[in-house]
Amino acid sequence: MNITYQSEDIELPEINQSETNIWIKKVADSYGKYIGEVAYIFCSDRKILEMNNQYLHHDYFTDIITFDYCTGNRLSGDIFISLDTVKSNSETFHTTYDEELHRTIIHGILHLCGINDKGPGEREIMERAENKALALLNEK
């Protein structure tokens, strides 16, 4: 298992990486998957917009872009997270920054597990999966 945390054009968020890694592994296990190579790249809105334009041909801000390199049950990918959007989402949804950051972190893993959120009814499935995963994080 290799999970890395990097930042590009922004400061790395303060998260307990070893606890977060254990949590991510637990969530992956619950889907019958295991972690291969996963890189989290935290960035600004400017950088995520650039990524969205360049790779997905979308001209809008987003909180996360997940590049899926999975093979079989091995989860691998690059997960870009805009900390600017995480902050604004926490204000919009009346959650703490920490909760929104963890929700976004696990959102990328859930995408790698095969859960989508664009089609009819998929957003609700993703939200339930996120909530279930966040409950695992809060278990001690």
For 12-55, give the secondary structure using H, E and C.
CCCCCHHHHHHHHHHHHHHCCCEEEEEEEEEECHHHHHHHHHHH
- Are the beta carbons of 122 and 116 closer than 8 angstroms? yes
Task: Tell me the C-alpha to C-alpha distance, in Å, between residue 130 and each of 89, 97, 100, 123.
Answer: 15, 15, 10, 10
* CATH code (residue 122): 3.40.390.30
Domain that holds residue 45: 2-138
pLDDT in tens, 101-129: 999 999 999 999 999 998 889 999 999 99
Tokens describing residue 133: 């995963």
Q: Which amino acid is it at 112?
A: L
pLDDT in tens, 1-59: 799 999 999 999 999 999 999 999 999 999 999 999 999 999 999 999 999 999 999 99
Instruction: Write down the pTM of the prediction.
Output: 0.95
